[in-house]
Amino acid sequence: MRKQIVAGNWKMNTTVSIGAKLINDIIALKNEVPTEVELIVNPPFTHIIPVAEAAKQTTIKVGAQNCSNHTKGAYTGEVSAEMLASIGVSHVILGHSERREYFMEDSKMLLEKVKLTLANQLTPIFCCGERLDEREGNQHFNVVKSQIEEVLFALSASDVKRAVIAYEPVWAIGTGKTASSEQAQEMHLFIRKTLADKFGNDIAQSISILYGGSCKPSNAVELFNQPDVDGGLIGGASLVAEDFIAIAKSFPKSK
Ligand code: PEP
């Protein structure tokens, strides 16, 4: 059975004290979430240690939103995968469309980052997804296939199994526009088939594929009901503890 995951991407939001309140509010509600659902919060770097300290007696995992593509050295302002591992980080979001667009992160750089996370026993949450013009031009499958091929296909089968994938159509991120559950399922199935063609069906069936893009309590049930949607990467709604928890309670009982 694939892991059901709800991961919050706090982006560049909250101060340390507001982040501390948010994690404490999430912890207070956590027992409402079925134990099989893995909860991950990805705060800004500055908040990771206090958030991890608050969450340490719980099963909530603490991730980061980025890491350097270099191991160590003269890279002012960067944070390495090894540093993140040393403070108890479990996951790193990589390839988010905001980093691809605003920080010019390309597949070559993302592959370096993915490899460094894996080498440091961290789980990459690898994001992929098409822009609106690409969907309108019917290029969405080609775009997502290339993003996966250029990074994940360069990994060994045993490494790719350790990754989580997030399909995030760029036109749905922070816009209030959600992909329909049919659009999400169609793309998740396509991603799984793409992985199966390269790595075999067993591996493809074992990888959790999350949906991201304006996921909220009102649409999570329908999205998570899709057979190939294994959870969500949540931006805006992860900043409200009640909404984040409500989303995590949205998996169908039978899954
Ligand atoms: C995201 O940025 O990963 C995301 C899914 O954002 P939002 O939920 O706000 O659309």
Write out pLDDT tens, residues 173-209.
989 888 999 999 999 999 999 999 999 999 999 999 9
Among all chains, which residue has been given the structure tokens 């990459």? 124
For a substitution probing ligand 1, which of 215, 239, 250 has the most ligand atoms within 8 Å of its CB? Answer: 215
Ligand 1 lined by 243 (C-beta under 6 Å):
no
Confidence (pLDDT) at 255: 73
Contact between 64 and 42 under an 8 Å Cβ cutoff? The reply is: yes
* Ranges assigned E (strand) in the chain: 4-9, 37-42, 61-64, 91-94, 123-128, 164-167, 209-212, 231-234
Q: Which residues on adjacent β-strands are paired with residue 126?
A: 94, 165
Does residue 70 have an active-site annotation? no
Q: Topology of 68-237 in CATH?
A: TIM Barrel (3.20.20)
Alpha helices, DSSP H, located in the chain: 16-29, 48-55, 81-86, 97-102, 107-119, 132-136, 140-151, 157-160, 181-199, 201-206, 217-224, 241-248
Mean pLDDT of 97-102: 98
Does residue 134 have an active-site annotation? no
Angle between helical axes of 181-199 and 140-151 (0-180°, round to 10): 40
Q: What are phi and psi for residue 186, nearest 5 degrees?
A: -60, -45
CA–CA gap between residue 202 and residue 22 (Å, rounded): 38
- What average pLDDT does the structure give for the chain? 97
Contact between 200 and 161 under an 8 Å Cβ cutoff? The reply is: no
Q: What angle do CA 74, 77, 83 make, to 5 degrees?
A: 80
Write out pLDDT tens, residues 106-151.
999 999 999 999 999 999 999 999 999 999 999 999 999 999 999 9
Residue-range domain boundaries for the chain: 68-237
Mean pLDDT of 10-16: 98
Confidence (pLDDT) at 99: 98
Percent of the chain whose predicted confidence (pLDDT) is above 90: 97
This prediction has a pTM of: 0.98
Write out pLDDT tens, residues 14-34.
999 999 999 999 999 999 999
Ligand 1 lined by 168 (C-beta under 6 Å):
yes
